[in-house]
Amino acid sequence: MMNSMSNIEYVKGLIEKGFKVLETDVIDQYQVSFVVKQADVLQVLVTLKNAGWKQMSYLSAIDWPDETKIEMVYILMNWERAVHVQIRSKIDRNDPVMPSIITVYPGAKYYERECHEFFGVKFPGNPDYEKQLILEMWDDMPPLRKDFDPQAYSDRKFTKREYNQDYKILSEDNKLKEKREARKERAQSLKGGPKA
């Protein structure tokens, strides 16, 4: 039974020894994240796969419009050493190109297609990264970019139901309240004056 902290140490040693790591973040005892340079990503993944991180759990992107960067995130899992490893790398947002990793993890094919649809990242090396997967006949900018306005798109594309306003706002000088007060006074006078 391997100690979980020593697993973290193991993977840290593995990555930090071989590559220039810009930032390491130990999230908890089962998760660790490395920020590496774009050119290193494929080699880092090969190293990790050889060390037992055989399962690619997820591939996605994060849009950082203020920095004009798109951050790629690869999450790998090792079933022998229970550690999720995140490999992050920031790429240019205006022309996002990331070499495909299907030579290392063939299952990434569909993740890359999804990522291309939602963030517009190009994946040279993946033969059909431009094919549509989830969105069909999309005609706008990639929808998960931060500057995409889903409300405007929805308003333009889909008809909205219109409702009649079937209530009205009471006037400011609240006559109902006066009436209520008058009724209260009248009731009291019938009972013989206000209660002591």
Partner 1 sequence: MKSTKFTPARKLSKEEIDRKWWEIGDYFRRNSLWMLMYCTGCCAIELPPAMTSAYDMERLGMGPMATPRQADILLISGYLSVKSLRRVIYTYEQMSEPKYVVGLGSCPINGGIYHDSHAVINQLDQYIPVDTYVSGCMPNTESVMNGFVDLMEQIKNKTAKGWIKYKENNEWYKSNQMAALGEVIIHDEFHE
Nearest distance, CB of residue 135 and partner 1, angstroms: 7
User: Is 10 among the residues that bind partner 1 (CB under 8 A)?
Assistant: no
**Site stretch for partner 1 (CB under 8 A), options 29-37, 88-96, 145-153, 181-189:** 145-153
Nearest distance, CB of residue 152 and partner 1, angstroms: 9
**Site stretch for partner 1 (CB under 8 A), options 9-17, 65-73, 88-96, 153-161:** 153-161
Concatenate the DSSP letters of all residues of the chain into one string.
---HHHHHHHHHHHHHHHS-EEEEEEEETTEEEEEE-GGGHHHHHHHHHHTT--EEEEEEEEEETTTTEEEEEEEEEETTTTEEEEEEEEEESSS-B----TTT-TTHHHHHHHHHHHH--B-TT-TTTTS-SSSSS--SS-TTSTT--HHHHHHHHS----------PPPSS-HHHHHHHHHHHHHHHHHTSS--
**Site stretch for partner 1 (CB under 8 A), options 22-30, 39-47, 119-127, 156-164:** 156-164
Q: What is the bridge-based pairing of β-strands 31-36 and 83-92?
A: parallel
Sort 187 into a burial class: Cβ within 10 Å, 0-12 / 13-18 / 19+: exposed
User: Is 165 among the residues that bind partner 1 (CB under 8 A)?
Assistant: no
User: Is 166 among the residues that bind partner 1 (CB under 8 A)?
Assistant: no
120 Rama class: left (phi>0) / alpha (psi -120 to 50) / beta:
left
Binding mask 27-66 for partner 1 (x = CB under 8 A): ----------------------------------------
* Residues 110 to 139 in contact with partner 1, rule: CB under 8 A: 131-132, 134-137, 139
User: Is 143 among the residues that bind partner 1 (CB under 8 A)?
Assistant: yes
Nearest distance, CB of residue 68 and partner 1, angstroms: 23
Output 96 or 142, the one with its CB closest to partner 1: 142
Nearest distance, CB of residue 127 and partner 1, angstroms: 12
Site of interaction with partner 1 (CB under 8 A)? 131-132, 134-137, 139-140, 143, 148, 150-151, 153-154, 157-161
